[in-house]
Chains A and B, each alone.
Chain A
Amino acid sequence: MATHSEPSNRSSLGIRASVLALVLAMVLTACGSSTDADLIESGPLEGTTITVYSGRGEDLIQPVLDLFEAQTGATVDVRYGGSAEMALTIDTEGDNSPADVYIGQSPGAVGFLDQNGHLAALSSDTKGLISGDYQASTGNWIGVTGRVRVLVYNTELVDPAELPATVLDLTKPEFAGLVGVAPSNGSFQDFVTGMRGMLGDDATADWLAGMAANNAPNYAKNGPIVDAVTRGEVPMGLVNHYYLLEFLEENPDLPAANHVFEPGDIGSMLITSAAGVVTYSDDTEAAEALIAFLLSPEAQELSANGEKEYPLLASVAAPDGLAPLTDLASITVDLNDLAGGLEGTQELIDNSGIQK
């Protein structure tokens, strides 16, 4: 629960903007010099506690939050769990939610919160930090880092020259039984939602039916698919890019590589981890200051280098060896604009028979 030292009769845009500006100014100066926390005796958010519900793992986000605490003096109380579970928890808590900030791994879970009215509007200062391509069209959540959908393939079993330029070609008969998918996984669902936004429901249903007809082998999630591909159990699989990078770090000799589809293809859409301010927060400025910090150069570098993800701040370079961000389709559809929202996506997946 956010406990601010001030009485709660504020919340004017003016204060909000000034806190933001202060934090940003501080972050920018800290960037140039040392990051030593001891230099800052008392930060602008001293005495404030911000409660974060994070679907992003502790290893990924805690270093960034520690830095925020050191620089602002705020106390960040984090609750870790699955992205969907955290979103469902906030939905169940309703206006008693202790959460000030929600951070999730995928647009699906944060979109669910938005759709159900649990997220507050972000200020234009925050929204101005990164390209509009990576934030909700409702203005209620913003991307933090990105992962890209790829076709992981076994280099001993597959000739890269024969890989398709577009994900839509995977329904062709020559790929029958060769492409592993995880239809019940959140990022596959996000990808299908993205496809609906870009190509429409009919084309999406056709593609899913084609994959089902091709008997695409099912796996629980991304990790097991990449594992199966490196072992040669299945030659290809639709996954997020960074799992393979983790596996290669473990064993650089693994015979597997990521194939990125042609620029703009929905098959290589960017899936953003995302953050939003929970409507019921009693200190939305502090909450928003934290979100703005996640988009500061320092925080972005921490997220990207360490985790091999894409920073979304234009000034921070993409990790080595990854396709440039500008080549990737990104979908940040308002779920309310899609017929049936997430439910519609789930129905399309269920009705296609791709789930075996």
Chain B
Amino acid sequence: MFAPNRLLRLAAIVVAAVFTAPLVFIVYRNVLLGADFGEIFTTSRTWHPFLRSIGLGVSVAAASAVVGTTLAWLTIRTDVPGAAFWRVLSPLPLVFPSFVGATALISAFAKGGILDRLVEPFGFELPELAGFWAALAVLTLFTYPYVFLPVAARLRRMPASLEESARLLGRSPGQVFRTIVVPQIWTSILAGSLLVFLYTISDFGAVQLLRYDTMTRVIWSNGLSNQPLFMALSLLLAITAITAVTLESRSLRSATVFPDSAKRSGLLIKLQRSRWLAAGGLGLFFLLALVGPVVSLADWVLQGIRSGRTRGALAISTDGLWGAIGSTVMVSLAAAALTVIVVLPISYLSARHRGKLSSITSAAVVVGFALPGIVLGLAMVWWFSRNDLLNPFYQTLPLLLLGYMVRFGAQASLTSEAAVAAVPGRVEDAARMLGAGRIRRFFTVELPIIVPGLLASAGLVLLSTMKELPVTLTLRPNNFDTLATRIWASMDNVSFAKAGLESLVLLAVSAVLTWFLVLRRSDATS
């Protein structure tokens, strides 16, 4: 017999070690290149963008927490008309690569853009989409699914008894939500918001297009010109991420974990007359988050089809599109499965054996998500191109998948951790008393309960991988195209019609995959 506890710790340590690869690279290069850390904090040209990144990250996280939680509650716990339909739509905005989403919204809002043409007859003038508020709004629209997916998974499993009692005592749906529901889903909200925060501080495309100057811009513009600063600032982002995740796990420690019920709760809140109001609200929201960008992209495509051109901005071509769809589906499915399985020991350790070791392992996992993608990509290039043992894997699919895993491990670990933590202790105890071994207990008792949470993790990694660009460009095999790399190439070439078509295809493929693999499955297992 081996000791399962020791095995778990060992697995968590090994996995965490893999995740520290980018950190080792940055620290090594940093020391090698002799960056002056003092300089970073004494000049406003790095200090101010850093503060702006933190401010934007916190704001977007807070806004996403509100939006994601509201959507999850409305679509899962209430009788809002069309709940199932809204549930499928809800995770989708995550799939817009932020540079595409931002470009689409900017062109929809701009003078002569599709939204402008809509409101102009009524005498409205749309604000120019730029600056802090625009960045806050756009990033929230594209990142709230990080909160929605884990919270929705949690809501599905939450025992309804407390809510029922509160309702019987005459509390309004709103009061029940605030006083009964929120405390129980708090861990999932926190985990999701942390992901949003990390995404925001590492985003480059959207903030750049929306003309809000943050840390990633400084990092990026120093990539060629000042490598020591490039590395030092990347390290600063990594430290920020580690701090954020440590703070999060501190606050989780004090939070009460409410166990899940093994059965899906049957409670539906009757919104009564306000149900149509809620449906209207959802409609309006998705008009902005999904229909807006989609119509804007479709507008590009239609212009292209009407022009009938074969060259230039309006040329449409579907050469290689099928191959790119296949590649995208393949790598994103593989990355989702790999990531969720590999980081499970870390989530398990954090949820069950919270301590020094779990703090370190869960901190290690988040680093890859907070770094600008190019820095993570270069870290993997450094490890794999220079090392004889690893070199055979350089620029191959296994390395690309590893890159995705290191990039998105945080999404899986944080979401899965909330799922594992919610397994009721008494179920475990009962199984143990009946003499079931640790491993057997895991597969027969715990796994069925945490599956919806794991599927939510997989869904996040899946959608994130489908749109991933910088890591893909840096680590892919030659001639390996995903939809995201094609969209990037089209935009780079000012081929808007083609970029629009490819983006719509990406959205459609994501919608189908999300429905089949995440929502339908998790509905069925409930």
Contacts and interface: CB of A to CB of B under 8 A. Distances in A.
B385 A92 contact: yes
Contact of A57 (B112, B303, B307, B489): B489
Contacts of B211: 218-220, 356
Given A57-B489, A78-B479, A108-B224, A89 B378 contact: yes
B268 to A, nearest CB: 46
B473 interface: yes
A233 B111 contact: yes
A97 B385 contact: yes
Contacts of A219: 211
Nearest to A226: B494
B326 to A, nearest CB: 19
B222 interface: yes
Contact of B110 (A58, A84, A184, A231): A231
A232 to B, nearest CB: 6
A224 interface: yes
A249 B313 contact: yes
Contact of A220 (B209, B313, B374): B209
A109 interface: yes
**Residue of A79, A97, A345 with most chain B CB atoms under a 10 A cut-off:** A79
Contacts of A82: 473, 492
Interface string B217-237: 100111111100000000000
Contact of A346 (B128, B221, B314, B382): B221
Contacts of B381: 89, 92-93
B222 A58 contact: no
Contacts of A250: 303, 307, 312-314, 496
Nearest to B379: A92
B386 A233 contact: no
A80 B479 CA distance: 8
A243 B225 contact: no
A18 interface: no
Interface string B104-137: 0011001110000000000000001000000000
Interface string A68-83: 0000000001111110
B353 interface: no
Given A92-B378, A250-B314, A341 B489 contact: no
Interface in B374-395: 374, 377-378, 381-382, 385-386, 391, 394-395
B225 A345 contact: yes
A291 interface: no
Contacts of A81: 473-474
A57 B377 CA distance: 20
A223 B312 CA distance: 14
A184 B208 contact: yes
Contacts of A342: 224-226
Nearest to A77: B478
A218 B212 CA distance: 9
Contacts of B309: 249
Interface residues of B, number: 48
Contacts of A232: 111
B370 to A, nearest CB: 19
Contacts of B223: 84, 88
A169 interface: no
Interface in A87-112: 87-89, 92-94, 96-98, 108-109, 112
Question: Chain A: interface secondary structure?
Answer: helix
Contacts of A233: 110-111, 128
B391 A85 contact: no
Interface string A220-254: 10011001100111000000000100110110000
Q: Chain A interface: which size bin? A: 35 or more
A60 interface: yes
Contact of A88 (B314, B374, B489): B374
B489 A59 contact: yes
Contacts of A79: 395, 478
B489 A306 contact: no
Given A57-B489, A227-B107, A231-B110, A92 B382 contact: yes
Contacts of A351: 45
A85 B314 contact: no
A321 to B, nearest CB: 15
A344 B395 CA distance: 34
B164 interface: no
Contacts of A97: 385
A350 interface: yes
B59 interface: no
A85 B374 contact: yes
B470 interface: yes
Nearest to A341: B225
Interface in A120-138: none
A346 B226 contact: yes
Contacts of B485: 80
Contacts of A349: 221
B248 interface: no
A57 B111 contact: no
B213 interface: yes
A250 B474 CA distance: 32
Contacts of A89: 377-378, 381, 474
Contact of A249 (B221, B314, B493): B314
A158 to B, nearest CB: 17
Nearest to A231: B111
24 contacts: A57-B492, A58-B489, A77-B479, A78-B478, A78-B479, A79-B395, A79-B478, A81-B473, A85-B377, A96-B385, A96-B386, A98-B394, A98-B395, A109-B224, A112-B224, A112-B225, A220-B211, A231-B110, A233-B110, A243-B494, A250-B303, A250-B307, A250-B312, A341-B225
Given A224-B106, A249-B309, 8 more contacts: A77-B478, A89-B474, A93-B382, A189-B225, A220-B211, A223-B494, A231-B111, A249-B312
Interface of B: 45, 106-107, 110-112, 128, 208-209, 211, 213, 217, 220-226, 303, 307, 309, 311-314, 374, 377-378, 381-382, 385-386, 391, 394-395, 470, 473-474, 478-479, 485, 489, 492-496
